[in-house]
Structure 1
């Protein structure tokens, strides 16, 4: 094993110290809150968030309008069905009344014919 090298305690300490320095440098290199790039990214995120909220509100408004339209259509359909049912019931009642009147008239004619036959038979005797 020619590539194996036993690291000593000092090597491990220096490696850890170098890692801490690199992390510290990364934190220091980070731009502050007053940096123009940070402010620009923050305003871009805010604009995206505002646009998203506007789209959500628009969708909600459209959904409510669609529900109102469907409710109005359902109510109009129910009113039309009710009116149709009432008209049909009125037509049926009129038809029944006319049928009853025809039946009464027919029975009256039959009774008159029967009475005429009976009277004719009595007259012959």
Structure 2
């Protein structure tokens, strides 16, 4: 085949490179003009996101407060139960000591009589 245009190898190589650059340039994103609505929407989204974050923080704080209240109630109930059992023990001890001298003497005499009865 004859080269009618009389182009050399380097000419064809540069032409190929230019064509490739032109083809790639078609797919590059074009610089868009800044949209004034974009900034407004971005600010609105940021405000919504911040509001959601604050709601989440409030909810977490409420949950922590409720847990602290429940723990305080549980500790108070345990303390009251312990006090009540201590009071019962003290009551039983006082009851045992509350026997009058006569009752103590009667119990002692009964034990003495029982011991005498066993030895006979």
TM-score when scaled to structure 1?
0.57
Paired residue for 1:34? none
Higher helix fraction: Structure 1 or Structure 2? Answer: 1
1:71 shift after superposition: 1.9
Distance 1:84 1:18, change over 3 A: closer
Distance 1:94 1:109, change over 3 A: farther
| Count, aligned residues | 104
| Mapped pair 1:85 → 2:86 | no
Specify every segment of 5 or more residues in structure 2 that has no aligned partner in the other structure, as ranges.
Answer: 2-6
**Secondary structure of the corresponding residue to residue 73 of structure 2:** helix
| Mapped pair 1:12 → 2:13 | yes
Specify every segment of 5 or more residues in structure 1 that has no aligned partner in the other structure, as ranges.
Answer: 32-36
Root-mean-square deviation (CA), in Å?
Answer: 3.9
Q: What CA deviation, in whole Å up to 9, does each residue of 1:7-63 have, x standing for no partner? A: 63333344455667x58x97xxx67xxxxx724xx2343234223312320222022
